[in-house]
A and B are shown apart, each in its own frame.
Chain A
Amino acid sequence: MNSIHPFPSPTSTPTGTRASRGLGVVVFLGMVLLTLLGLFFTDEDVVQGSTVRLMYIHVPTAWVAYLAFIVTALTSAMYMWGKQHSLTFDRIAGASAEVGVIFMGLSLVTGSLWGRLTWGTYWQWDPRLTTTAFLFITYVGYLAVRDLGGSHQQRAKRSGVVALLAVLEIPLVHFSVVLWRSLHQKASVLRPNGNVTMDGLMLFTLLFGVGVFTLLFTWMVLHRQRVLALADAIDDGGLEAALQERRNENN
């Protein structure tokens, strides 16, 4: 069987470039340093004890999750309103949403572990928490829409519309949950004092974590986007190859 490969072999189009590999190394070293800072160099919190160390993971993951969804919304808008309808924007939107869903899941898990230790409960019907959970489900739905099949342009248009609808949905969900809670709030759980002052190294660790996780997000989206581009190319190429094969049969 003479199969044709109109797309380059995987080895000639790697998903990494010198720049993105360099970024990967920086992210790795940053993570090692963050682990050392978070687990060993920083002190325990006066009120929360070692529980506070969860914050060095929780805050950056929540930040990355929200950043990811902003990127998805922006790149979806750029796809929809761009003259070219460039699929690169669509793939960045998809890659960013995938990474966002993972980080939102991590942020919900670390958050509820922290809540159990600090508030005494895994879950609180707090507007921010509830909205985050909704965002998580909404973007799981968004990823399912991306999987519906059809042409690449069709996928991009559908998921673009769903991403933009989500931008409308989320503030409404948040607003209605705030209204709902303002009527039904029960002050039953232990809440730490809001005016927590952080010591210098703790604050640095937190901000450093946010920075490193942002770089990790960039690195992941960069690579994932390239993988998605290769997958699209295989789709296109696969169809071409199949057509060519049928043409050859007739000769």
Chain B
Amino acid sequence: MKRHSTSTWTVARTIASKDLRIEWRSKVLVNQVLPFAAIVMVLFAFALDNDGILQRVAPGLVWLAVLFTSLIIVQRTFAIESADNALDAIKVAGVPSAGVFIGKSVALVAQLLLFECVLVLLALVLYQVHLSWGGVVLLVTVSVLANIGLAAMGALYGGLGAAAKGRETLLPLLLLPAVAPVLIGATRATESAFGVGGASLGEGWPWVALLAVFGALFGFGGTLAFGVLTEE
């Protein structure tokens, strides 16, 4: 078997820390994408125009906002690669593509987590939902698992769009139908965490299993497929 000079995990760590460092220094996420997420939450309130309904559908709105934001974050994470043909350089360097995929996904998970914290806080303030400590535990578990699924699919299809230069418009078409189970699972679990519609905390946990299966399946599938999808 061919041995890579750099191990998959080293590559993954390097890519993830590089991505996060770029975001930390450029502040694009904080200055541009975060305000977008906030205005989406405000616009939902304008569109629905009823406090009772807002409270009832708050979990769905939070996760819809996460999905829309994830499209921008995924595009951004591959835009920084294609800007100077960095993706090509990485491929030429012969590093294992599984490492690139894992690194990109880990950075995406971290970024999505930040957005979810802000969006949930906004829901608490703007939509007047309530959150118990038990709900917080459920919500954190749900967010981490949902993010693994979202990040894996995002890295996979984002990488495909980036490899086929200038075809980023394809991302929503491929990504959104694929992550529908995440939207369903995460929304239902968050309903339990927020306790809307009389949902109890116990009803939320079975959905965690669905999110875990999704994350595991596409985390693993993505690790295998990423190299083929981004090949020149």
Per-position binary interface string of chain A over residues 166-186, scored 1 when its CB falls under 8 Å from any chain B CB and 0 otherwise: 001100110111011001000
B112 CB to nearest chain A CB (Å):
19
Q: Tell me the number of A-to-B contacts counted with CB atoms below 8 Å.
A: 72
Residues of chain A lying within 8 A (CB to CB) of residue B229: 157-158, 161-162
Residues of chain A lying within 8 A (CB to CB) of residue B184: 176-177, 179-180
Q: Are B180 and A176 in contact (CB under 8 A)?
A: yes
Residues of chain B lying within 8 A (CB to CB) of residue A169: 177-178
Per-position binary interface string of chain B over residues 145-182, scored 1 when its CB falls under 8 Å from any chain A CB and 0 otherwise: 00000000000100010001001001001100110110
Q: Are B231 and A154 in contact (CB under 8 A)?
A: yes
B226 and chain A: residue at smallest CB distance: A161
B187 and chain A: residue at smallest CB distance: A180
Per-position binary interface string of chain A over residues 140-151, scored 1 when its CB falls under 8 Å from any chain B CB and 0 otherwise: 110011001110
B153 CB to nearest chain A CB (Å):
9
Q: Are A168 and B231 in contact (CB under 8 A)?
A: no
B184 CB to nearest chain A CB (Å):
5
A144 to B160, CA, bound (A): 12
Q: Are A165 and B188 in contact (CB under 8 A)?
A: no
B167 and chain A: residue at smallest CB distance: A148
Our pick among A140, A165, A176 for the contact of B221 (Cβ within 8 Å) is A165
A175 to B26, CA, bound (A): 41
A64 CB to nearest chain B CB (Å):
21
B175 and chain A: residue at smallest CB distance: A141
| A242 on the B face (CB < 8 A) | no
| A54 on the B face (CB < 8 A) | no
Q: Are A144 and B177 in contact (CB under 8 A)?
A: no
Q: Are B185 and A176 in contact (CB under 8 A)?
A: yes
Q: Are A179 and B178 in contact (CB under 8 A)?
A: no
Residues of chain B lying within 8 A (CB to CB) of residue A172: 181, 213-214, 217
Interface size in chain B (residues, C-beta < 8 A): 26
| A137 on the B face (CB < 8 A) | yes
| A138 on the B face (CB < 8 A) | yes
Q: Are B174 and A162 in contact (CB under 8 A)?
A: yes
- A64-82, CB < 8 A from B: none
Q: Are B185 and A141 in contact (CB under 8 A)?
A: no
From known contacts A162-B174, A173-B181, infer whether A154 and B232 are also in contact, taking CB-CB under 8 Å.
Answer: yes
| A134 on the B face (CB < 8 A) | yes
Q: Are A145 and B180 in contact (CB under 8 A)?
A: no
Residues of chain B lying within 8 A (CB to CB) of residue A149: 164
Q: Are B217 and A145 in contact (CB under 8 A)?
A: no
- B192-232, CB < 8 A from A: 207, 210, 213-214, 217-218, 221, 225, 228-229, 231-232
Residues of chain B lying within 8 A (CB to CB) of residue A183: 188
A169 CB to nearest chain B CB (Å):
5
B173 CB to nearest chain A CB (Å):
5
B149 and chain A: residue at smallest CB distance: A172
A126 to B156, CA, bound (A): 30
B94 CB to nearest chain A CB (Å):
19
A166 to B156, CA, bound (A): 13
Q: Are A168 and B221 in contact (CB under 8 A)?
A: yes
A218 to B185, CA, bound (A): 39
Q: Are A141 and B170 in contact (CB under 8 A)?
A: yes
A181 and chain B: residue at smallest CB distance: B184
Q: Are B177 and A141 in contact (CB under 8 A)?
A: yes
Our pick among B170, B174, B177, B210 for the contact of A176 (Cβ within 8 Å) is B210
B182 and chain A: residue at smallest CB distance: A176
Our pick among B177, B207, B210, B221 for the contact of A137 (Cβ within 8 Å) is B177
Per-position binary interface string of chain B over residues 51-76, scored 1 when its CB falls under 8 Å from any chain A CB and 0 otherwise: 00000000000000000000000000
Residues of chain B lying within 8 A (CB to CB) of residue A175: 181, 210
Our pick among A137, A161, A177 for the contact of B173 (Cβ within 8 Å) is A137
Most buried by A among B160, B164, B218: B164
Enumerate the 3 nearest inter-chain pairs by beta-carbon distance, A residue then B residue, closest first: A176-B181, A148-B164, A176-B184
Besides the contacts A148-B170, A158-B228, A176-B181, what 15 more A-B pairs have beta carbons closer than 8 Å?
A134-B180, A137-B173, A144-B170, A144-B174, A145-B170, A148-B164, A158-B164, A161-B229, A165-B156, A165-B218, A165-B221, A172-B213, A173-B180, A179-B207, A183-B188
> What is the interface of chain A, defined by CB distance below 8 A to chain B?
134, 137-138, 140-141, 144-145, 148-150, 154, 157-158, 160-162, 164-165, 168-169, 172-173, 175-177, 179-180, 183
In the complex, 13 of the A-B residue pairs with CB atoms within 8 angstroms, ordered by the A residue number, are A141-B177, A144-B173, A145-B174, A148-B160, A160-B228, A161-B225, A165-B156, A165-B225, A169-B178, A173-B177, A176-B180, A177-B184, A180-B184
